[in-house]
Every structure is written in structure tokens, then in C-alpha cells.
Amino acid sequence: MLHILQHSPFHTDLESLLRCIKPGDELLLLQDAVIAALSGTRALDLLLAAPISIYALQEDIEARGLTAQISTSIGKVSYTDFVRMTVKHERQITW
């Protein structure tokens, strides 16, 4: 399943999201959710402990001026990659 997070981790119940995640799922961070990929944050620590692959939309990272602060543990994807992910995962949920 593809989980798409759009809101800042400060306005999201990450614990609830993580309870719904299963091994092999993927999480895509969009819009203000890319803040969750900042190095050294509690949100990033929570996400990295989950058995999933985590990606952030490159355009949203750049739009917020966060390129240098994003963890190297997070994959950066383009809009084309985003479309590929939605095709790959028949089931999706947006948080």
C-alpha cells in the first residue's frame, strides 16, 4: 500500500499512521510533510523505525528550501516517480 502524507508532522498523528503501516508499504511525503524528513527530528526517527520505504517529493523539498537538511535515508522522487508509485500500488491512503 502507498501511504501519502501531505501535512506537517506537527499537525499529523504519526503514531496512528504507523499503526496502519505493514512491512513492504511505502510512504510518500508531499507538501508540508517533507518536514518529517529533516535530519535529527523525532518525526524522522519514528518513520525510520517503521518497516517501510520512505520518499519525499523533490519539488516540495526545494520549494521549502530544505534540500541540504533532508536525511540521506529518505529517497527523493520526482512527479514522474510519484505517478509510478501510484500505478505500482493499487491501494493508497492519504493522510
Banded model confidence at residue 67, pLDDT cuts 50, 70, 90:
very high
Mean predicted confidence (pLDDT) in 2-14: 94
Phi, psi of 2 (to 5 degrees): -100, 120
pLDDT at residue 42, as a whole number:
93
β 26-29/53-57 pair status: parallel
**What pLDDT band is residue 55 in, cutting at 50, 70 and 90?**
very high
Give the number of domains in the chain.
1
Task: Estimate to the nearest angstrom the gap between the alpha carbon of 48 and the chain centroid.
Answer: 10
Strand order in the sheet with 26-29: 75-77, 53-57, 26-29, 2-5, 92-94
The 3 state secondary structure assigned to the chain is CEEEECCCHHHCCHHHHHHHCCCCCEEEECHHHHHHHECCCHHHHHHHCCCCEEEEEHHHHHHCCCHHHECCCCEEECHHHHHHHHHHCCCEEEC
- Identify the domain containing residue 44 by its residue range: 2-94
CATH code: domain of residue 13: 3.40.1260.10
